[in-house]
Structures are given as C-alpha cells and as structure tokens.
Chain A
Amino acid sequence: MNIAVVVRQVPDLVEPLEIDASGTALDMDEVEFLINETDDHALEQALLLKESGGGSVTVVAIDFGEVDDVLYTAAAKGADRIVKIPYDDEDCPPRPTEAAAMIAEAVKDIKDIDAELVLVGSSAHDELEGVLAPLLAIKLELPYLGVIRGVKPGEGGQVTAFKEFPGAAMAQMNVKLPAVLGILAADQPPRYVPVSRIRAAMKSTEFEEKETAAAETETGVTVLRMYHPEPSERAEMLTGSEDDVAARLAEILKEKGVIQ
C-alpha cells in the first residue's frame, strides 16, 4: 500500500509564547517548533502498515519552521520519500485552507506516489478544530474518516479503521481506498530512532521539492485580538487555624452542593 503522510510544525509549548506588536499573532521570532503530535502518530501508523503489508511511505510537509529536523527523523524511521513544499512567509504559518490546497496539489501531482491512503493528524494544538484533514479530503475528492485510533490492513482494497467516539466508545469500520484518515493515535507510540540514524539520514536523504501555485489565503475570518488567558476570578485562599480552614471548607462544599 502506498501511503502519503502529512506532517506539520506547531509551536513548542516548552517555550513561553509571546504576542507580536500587532496584537493579533504570535511573535514568530520567539517560537520554537516541533512535530505536531498526532502527525507523529500518523507517521507511525503509516510505517506500521508498510511493515505489515509492504508498499511505500511518502512524507509531505510545507517548508515552515524547523521542518527539516522532523523530515530527517522521518527518513531515519523508514519513510521512503520526503516531499517539501516551498513556503515563503516566515512570520505566518500556513492556515488550514491554504495548507490543504498546497498539500492536495502536491499529493495529486507527484508522479509515482499514487497514494491509496493519506494519513494526517486529526488535529493540532494550534488547530484544535481539526479542519486540515477534511479540507484535504475535499480538495482530493476522497472520502474522509477522522479521530482514528489504529488502522489495520484489510481485504480487497480496504483498510479497517478504529474510530473513537465520545465516552471512549469505539467503532470498527471498513474504509474503501483511496481515502484520507485523520489519525488521533497509532497502534503503538511513535518509535524511538537512535540519533546516529538521524545523523546518517541528514547526510544521505534528498528532499524532493514541489512548488505549488499560490493558494487562496482568504478564510473569511479575521483575528481581532490575540491575548493570554485572563483570570476572571481569583481563588479564595483559606487562612486561619486548621479548625477554621476545615470549617470554612465544609461550608463551601455545602454551598456548592457537593455534600449535604
């Protein structure tokens, strides 16, 4: 099975996020990046499918942030081809509509990929709505199934996908290929690859570049203000002797209806 996997860069929350002078966007000079966690799972799922049934894994990424590090790691883990889509704006990450158009064009146009399955993380921490995967499916004119926790190879041009519903209910579904799946988690955690492998990949891996036409960036949505969460009400600090604190605590729990 030939699989295309989309990976994205998201801001690393280990670094404090700053808002830029415009007050409507992150200050990209202060941002470090890492691979979107569910995309990492999508890659793992693709590698597992390839290992169990053969085929190839092509990783597709828009050239933003520190994506090269992620791509070399993907190559070290066993991705066969790496396709990078040039992107010029260093200060503004591609919005999902724009990204979907660019990725769809790349996936359609690249000869020989012939992807039967497109895997992408079902959301990202800077895109919790999770619209990239379904938008991509629309652009590719393929069926879409999201919030998938595990994919098994199936019979007759199908795969079996395990979809999670609220309350942790699971559904087992057969999906006719080709299709786009939004991955929440792979069958196993993303694998560790030793650094010597990554460094070897840095020397030997060649990225394929795929220019895409400038995509429509109009989303119909304008950011008016970006801001850090503002606390609306401070916590009440209980002071005094242990007995006073215990009595007040009991009172509060009664007021809130937690105890009778």
Chain B
Amino acid sequence: MTTLQTDPGMEFLAQRVDGDPAFGCIQCGTCAASCPLGAAMEYPPRQLILQARSGNLDKILSSASLWMCVGCHTCSSRCPRGIELADDLWPALRDRAMQEGIQPPAELQETFQNIFKYGNSLGESARKRLDWAKELDVPLRDLSKEPTAVEVLWLVCDYPSYYPRNQVVTRDFARVLTALGVRWGVLGNKEKAVGDCDRLYGEEGLFEMLVENNKKLFDKYQFEKIVTLDAHSYRALEHFYPRYGAEYPVEHYTSYLADRLDLLKPLLTKPVKATVTYHDNCCIGRRADIFDQPRMLLEAIPGVKLVEMARNRENALCCGGGGGGMWLDGHIVEHGGQRLSDQRVRQAAEVGAEVLAVSCPLELSRFEDSTKVAGLENKLLVRDIIELLAESMDLGEKEKQ
C-alpha cells in the first residue's frame, strides 16, 4: 500500500508538516464537516489528505479545490490530531502546485506580482504609502526620515495605508495612540508588506523574501514593540517570522489597547448608542485566542450594547478574505462556493445588530459590499473597533464628515 511516507511525491510534505502529524490523520472528517466551503470542494480537507496519502498528488494539485481554502483555520482548530491543515498542509500543496507550473487563479497571480514588484498587495506606488496621513491632525513620526527610539513601531500595512475606507480607521488609530500619550512611529515609504498568516497563500518564496527584507528593515530601528491593525500581519509576525529567525515583540491593536484600558476608559466620554456585534476574525481569534480583548474594548464604550451572533469566538464564521480569499472570490463562486461575508452580515442582522464591529482591515470592504448584496445597506453599519473608540473619545473622523 502506498502511504504518505513511502510516496516519493509526498516527501516534501513530510518535511513541511512539523512532526508530520499528517500521517496521524484518522479520517474522521471533522475538517470536511467544519469547512465553510467544503460542500463546494471536489476534495474537501479529509479527501485531500486521503488522496495525497494514496499517491494521487497530481489530482489534488490540479484541482480547483486547492484554491478554495480561505484560511479560516476552523479545520485546524478542531482536528483531534492537531494537524495544521490551513497553515501548513494547504500552503505546502499550493507551493508544490506552483513549482510544477500549475497556474494559480489569475486575480491571485496579480496580487503576488503586486507584492513582489511594489511591496503591497494593491499594486500601489511605494511613494504613496503615507498618503493616508496627508490630512492627519496629530504629529506623525516617520522613522525612515528621522530615526529615533519609539515605544511603538506601528506597521500600518497595506489596506490601512492605501484603501480609502481603511484610511479613515488608520487616522483614527493615530489619534487614539496620540491621545494615550504613546511615543509611536511609522516606517513611511520604506514599509513593505509583511506577508500573511498562512505564509502568503502558498507563495512561500515570496513570503521568505518579505521576511528577509523586513528583518533588515526592522533591525535598523529602536522600538519596544510592533503594533499593527492588520490581523494577518500580526499572525505572520507572531507565528511565522520566528521560523525564519526574525523574532519581534508584536501585538495586535486590540490586545495592545485592552492592556491600557485604565488609561483609555476615562477618555471614553461620549456615548455611542448602538447595538453592536463583534466579528471574531480568524487570525487573532481561532489562531491566537484573542477573543476577550476586543469585547473588553467594546464594552468599555458608554452606550454600546454588545450582542453575540450565534456563531462567535472559536465557532465564528470567516469573512472569506483569508488564505488569499480576498482575491479568490471569483474562483470560489465559479466553482460553486459562496462569499462567506454575504452569510456573515445576515447572521449579524439576525441578532438585531445595528453595527458589525470588526478588527481586521480586510473586513471593512468585504462586509460593506455584502450589506449591499444582502439588502442591509444603511441598516447594518460596518465599523472598526477603533472607529467606535475614537467616536467615544470625540476624535472620530467618520461621524465628523
């Protein structure tokens, strides 16, 4: 019988999956049943392992299923054998497919090329990295121009730097940090993409290049910790960078602010009267167990009534934007899958929420688009936790517009 271990085609996988727990798969099917896109996959996770084990590597490498995982990590978090399907197995297979010349979906190719050429997933000019700060009303320390020791090296990341809806949140965060008296700085035009929690959706060579370049860059500056708004960057820095010898103290903004709640609370003076539900993103939630801190921040805001969706915390439904999903909607829908964000906004509306609070930069545009699809535009507002904090501190930009 051909097993994963004896199949020469799978040797690479044995090296990749740490401690090779893939060999310990008991085919229980928990992964396939948990996968929000499993029903649309030709090879859902359990099948994928079975086929790989049986030596049918070619079948799975050329299958559309390989590009339907949105990295939600539900399978990995529930697997009784602790197999890292989302973070290790799936990316390793995608990498292998690309090495064999199998082409990833076109939109994702373009994203890879953007990151390689421009250092950001949006294909924007590096010179426009700081455009978000053009009308900023608090002082900004651009460390690339004036290198100085700071408490917080704020990695602004791609969407918060470039995407207009996110830029509002970015400016609000600058105001909140400044109001807290934090000495913060950014890398200005020198900043490049961090990568992602699943090693860039399988593009491991690109991820490795980013880590090497970022390590050289970060090592030039003096800071106590890195803070980022980007849940994907947070997870990459916290979990994957150390594998390449790049270790930095890093926090997602929710846990960073929750630790400073004593300082923050007296500043939260203006009531924000709204029924709010929080969407646990997959990178800080299921992957890093940061479930309480975002809720602590929301509950500290006067006027906020926090309600929970039926699927919350480790059971939360993904927005569909991870694992490269941000650039795979077309591929997934073409192959019979659904945009998970469309389902998620309906779940928020079902519990009477007026505001869907988020803490990952990919979610603002995904959920706002979905409210339009679901007929919830102007009924369900999508807002980052930072915006709600800033509003309560009377610093918020959106409600002033």
**Which 4 pairs between the two chains have the least Cβ-Cβ distance?**
A196-B205, A195-B205, A195-B206, A192-B109
- B102 to A: closest C-beta gap in Å: 10
Once the chains are docked, how many angstroms separate the CA of A197 from the CA of B123? 21
* Cβ–Cβ < 8 Å partners of A15 in chain B: 125, 127
A178-214 vs B, CB cutoff 8 Å, 1 = contact: the mask equals: 0000000000010110111111000000000000000
Once the chains are docked, how many angstroms separate the CA of A26 from the CA of B208? 35
B106 within 8 A of A: yes
A34 within 8 A of B: yes
B103 within 8 A of A: yes
With contact pairs A34-B117, A199-B209 given, residues A194 and B95 touching in the complex (Cβ less than 8 Å):
yes
**Cβ contact within 8 Å between B118 and A197:** no
* Cβ–Cβ < 8 Å partners of A199 in chain B: 205, 208-209
* Cβ–Cβ < 8 Å partners of B208 in chain A: 195-196, 199
Give the residue name and chain of the A residue nearest to B123 (CB). A14
Once the chains are docked, how many angstroms separate the CA of A14 from the CA of B104? 24
- B178 to A: closest C-beta gap in Å: 30
Among B106, B109, B124, B209, the residue within 8 A (CB) of A14 is B124
- Chain A residues 8 to 26 lying within 8 A of chain B, measured CB to CB, are 14-16
- Chain B residues 178 to 232 lying within 8 A of chain A, measured CB to CB, are 203-206, 208-209
Once the chains are docked, how many angstroms separate the CA of A15 from the CA of B125? 6
**Cβ contact within 8 Å between B125 and A196:** no
* Cβ–Cβ < 8 Å partners of B275 in chain A: none
* Cβ–Cβ < 8 Å partners of A195 in chain B: 112, 116, 203, 205-206, 208-209
Give chain A's interface residue range (CB within 8 Å of chain B): 10 to 19
- A48 to B: closest C-beta gap in Å: 12
Give the residue name and chain of the A residue nearest to B113 (CB). A192
- B159 to A: closest C-beta gap in Å: 17
Once the chains are docked, how many angstroms separate the CA of A198 from the CA of B116? 11
Give chain B's interface residue range (CB within 8 Å of chain A): 20 to 34
**Cβ contact within 8 Å between A194 and B206:** yes
* Cβ–Cβ < 8 Å partners of B118 in chain A: 14
Give the residue name and chain of the A residue nearest to B105 (CB). A192
- Chain B residues 104 to 161 lying within 8 A of chain A, measured CB to CB, are 104, 106, 109, 112-113, 116-118, 123-125, 127
Give the residue name and chain of the A residue nearest to B100 (CB). A194
**Cβ contact within 8 Å between A194 and B205:** yes
Among A14, A189, A191, A194, the residue within 8 A (CB) of B203 is A194
Give the residue name and chain of the A residue nearest to B116 (CB). A195
A19-43 vs B, CB cutoff 8 Å, 1 = contact: the mask equals: 0000000000000001000000000
**Cβ contact within 8 Å between B106 and A191:** no
Once the chains are docked, how many angstroms separate the CA of A14 from the CA of B114? 11
Among A14, A34, A197, the residue within 8 A (CB) of B205 is A197
With contact pairs A14-B118, A14-B123, A15-B127 given, residues A191 and B101 touching in the complex (Cβ less than 8 Å):
yes
Contact sample, A vs B, 5 pairs, CB 8 Å cutoff: A15-B125, A189-B106, A192-B109, A195-B112, A195-B208
A52-75 vs B, CB cutoff 8 Å, 1 = contact: the mask equals: 000000000000000000000000
* Cβ–Cβ < 8 Å partners of A197 in chain B: 99, 205
With contact pairs A14-B118, A14-B123, A34-B117 given, residues A196 and B103 touching in the complex (Cβ less than 8 Å):
no
* Cβ–Cβ < 8 Å partners of A14 in chain B: 118, 123-125
B25 within 8 A of A: no
* Cβ–Cβ < 8 Å partners of B272 in chain A: none
Q: Beyond A14-B124, A199-B205: 18 further Cβ-contacts under 8 Å?
A: A14-B125, A15-B127, A16-B125, A34-B117, A189-B106, A191-B103, A192-B103, A192-B109, A192-B113, A194-B99, A194-B203, A194-B204, A194-B205, A195-B208, A195-B209, A196-B204, A196-B206, A198-B205
B98 within 8 A of A: yes
Once the chains are docked, how many angstroms separate the CA of A87 from the CA of B113? 27
* Cβ–Cβ < 8 Å partners of A192 in chain B: 98, 103-104, 109, 112-113
- A186 to B: closest C-beta gap in Å: 13
- A226 to B: closest C-beta gap in Å: 21
Once the chains are docked, how many angstroms separate the CA of A148 from the CA of B118? 30
Once the chains are docked, how many angstroms separate the CA of A15 from the CA of B208? 26
- B20 to A: closest C-beta gap in Å: 22
Give the residue name and chain of the A residue nearest to B114 (CB). A14
Interface centre among A195, A197, A199 (most CB of B within 10 A): A195
Give the residue name and chain of the B residue nearest to A77 (CB). B101
Give the residue name and chain of the A residue nearest to B106 (CB). A189
Give the residue name and chain of the B residue nearest to A69 (CB). B117
Once the chains are docked, how many angstroms separate the CA of A195 from the CA of B211? 13
Once the chains are docked, how many angstroms separate the CA of A197 from the CA of B99? 8
* Cβ–Cβ < 8 Å partners of A16 in chain B: 125
Once the chains are docked, how many angstroms separate the CA of A198 from the CA of B204? 12
Once the chains are docked, how many angstroms separate the CA of A189 from the CA of B104? 12
Once the chains are docked, how many angstroms separate the CA of A198 from the CA of B112? 13
- B320 to A: closest C-beta gap in Å: 23
- A159 to B: closest C-beta gap in Å: 24
- B96 to A: closest C-beta gap in Å: 10
Once the chains are docked, how many angstroms separate the CA of A195 from the CA of B115? 11
Once the chains are docked, how many angstroms separate the CA of A3 from the CA of B13? 38
Once the chains are docked, how many angstroms separate the CA of A15 from the CA of B118? 10
Once the chains are docked, how many angstroms separate the CA of A42 from the CA of B106? 19
Once the chains are docked, how many angstroms separate the CA of A228 from the CA of B109? 32
Once the chains are docked, how many angstroms separate the CA of A15 from the CA of B126? 9
Give the residue name and chain of the A residue nearest to B117 (CB). A34
- A124 to B: closest C-beta gap in Å: 18
* Cβ–Cβ < 8 Å partners of A198 in chain B: 116, 205
- B17 to A: closest C-beta gap in Å: 18
- B323 to A: closest C-beta gap in Å: 17
- A34 to B: closest C-beta gap in Å: 7
* Cβ–Cβ < 8 Å partners of B127 in chain A: 15
- B62 to A: closest C-beta gap in Å: 15
